[in-house]
Amino acid sequence: MNQTARHSTGTPRSVPRRPRFPRYAVIALAVLLLAACAGEDKKKEEATTPATTRIFANRVIDYAPGTLVINSGFNGQTPGSYSDDFGGTHVISLTAWITDYPGFGASSTEIVSYDNAQRVLIGLASEGNYSRFDWTLFQDNLYYCQSYPYVASADEASALPRADNTDPTASGCGGFSWTGLGPPAWSYFFSPDRALGAPGDYTSVVSLGYVPAGTDAPGGALVLGLGAAGDPAQRGCAIDGVGDDVAVYENPFVTSDADSISGTNNEVATVEFSTDNATWYEYPHDATLDPAKPLIDRTRYVGFAGVTPTSEGGDRFDLALLIAEHALSADFNACYVRITDGGTRWVDYGNTQSDLFASGADIDAVEALHYEADATLAP
């Protein structure tokens, strides 16, 4: 009530008094005000979606690292330096596998070829003496076995049956047991399930692997399906809503290096979307590189994953841009997401499109910001 409407015993009778509200009207008004406040609170609650209702990738459809796991390094560690269960040391580069056991000396095997999908490596110890090595990841641990020594040719070694890697702790290979390798103990970075659910810390990631300089191999790729976290049976698609529709969380970390251009270390990846896991549409992207600078300026990269830290919201993708780029139907649904390491697709200073010394994009999580359930999806 304002000052002019206030009355006292000295108020002239000619000034009309403000009519009183019946008590029931006051009560009704109070109830309405409380309801309005509750409504505002409900709107705020709905605007802040609880983490338990957020939709993330909940199943791995496919995963193929860009280069052999045992040739890769992580965060500046020496690539391919290991010890095994028997006291030996192994240094595995892109061209050679050097093994050293105390009392026996070192031996070297030339790496002729490897197959990421089959997890097979063909080595040459001496002229006409090829060996086939099978390797696998089991319960976040790395194992290898020289399954076929003394083979006459690389082609013959490649064609031999694959060793049983169902459980390398319980099975044998080539007449011997499987050999565990470590440290460095980072083989779990190649477990694709680490990309499921909500983003964690900077180590809760799966690496896509990297592409060596001077090769035309594609980058490693990861395909994920969307749905309720922790329940692969609950499936659905990202849909075009207002603003961004999908977020990809990689782990570009903030750096205090004075030579850093953008203040982060980046490992860049391209992103594609599909309705049926068969036909894929690549999200439009562009990079205007500055050849005078050896590290990524992230402000020059548009439409990529692996650019924006999770603490800043990750990299966002608006399906409206994808729909316009590929002339898709306005009701296009993105049910599957494929993330491919930059590799040599965007050549950056003769290496990759990622910062120097990077070891492949590391995916933490994928989130559908606008989502529609679809129980018919398979896989």
Q: In sequence order, what are the residues at sequence separation of 6 or more whose Cβ sits closer than 8 angstroms to the Cβ of residue 181?
A: 70, 82, 83, 84, 90, 142, 143, 144, 187
CA distances from 193 to 71, 260, 264, 274 (A): 21, 32, 25, 20
Per-residue pLDDT of the chain (379 residues; tens, 9 = 90+): 343 333 333 333 333 444 443 444 433 434 333 444 444 443 333 333 333 479 999 999 998 776 544 444 333 333 566 778 787 877 776 677 878 887 777 788 888 888 767 788 899 987 778 999 998 888 877 888 999 988 999 999 999 998 888 899 888 888 888 998 875 444 556 678 889 999 987 668 887 865 554 455 556 789 999 998 778 899 999 999 999 999 999 877 565 544 545 556 677 889 999 999 999 999 999 876 665 554 556 777 889 998 888 888 999 999 999 999 999 999 999 999 999 887 544 444 333 444 443 457 889 999 999 999 999 999 9
Residue 20 CA to its chain's centroid (Å): 66
Closest CA to 91 of 77, 75, 80, 102: 80
Please state, in angstroms and rounded to a whole number, the distance separating the CA atoms of residues 9 and 12.
9
Residue 173 CA to its chain's centroid (Å): 33
Residue type, position 374, single letter: D
Are 354 and 374 a contacting pair, CB within 8 Å? no
Please state, in angstroms and rounded to a whole number, the distance separating the CA atoms of residues 210 and 361.
8
Predicted confidence at residue 30, as pLDDT, reads 41
Kindly list the domain boundaries of the chain, sorted by start residue. Answer: 3-47, 55-72+191-373, 81-181
CATH superfamily of this structure's domain 55-72+191-373: Galactose-binding domain-like (2.60.120.260)
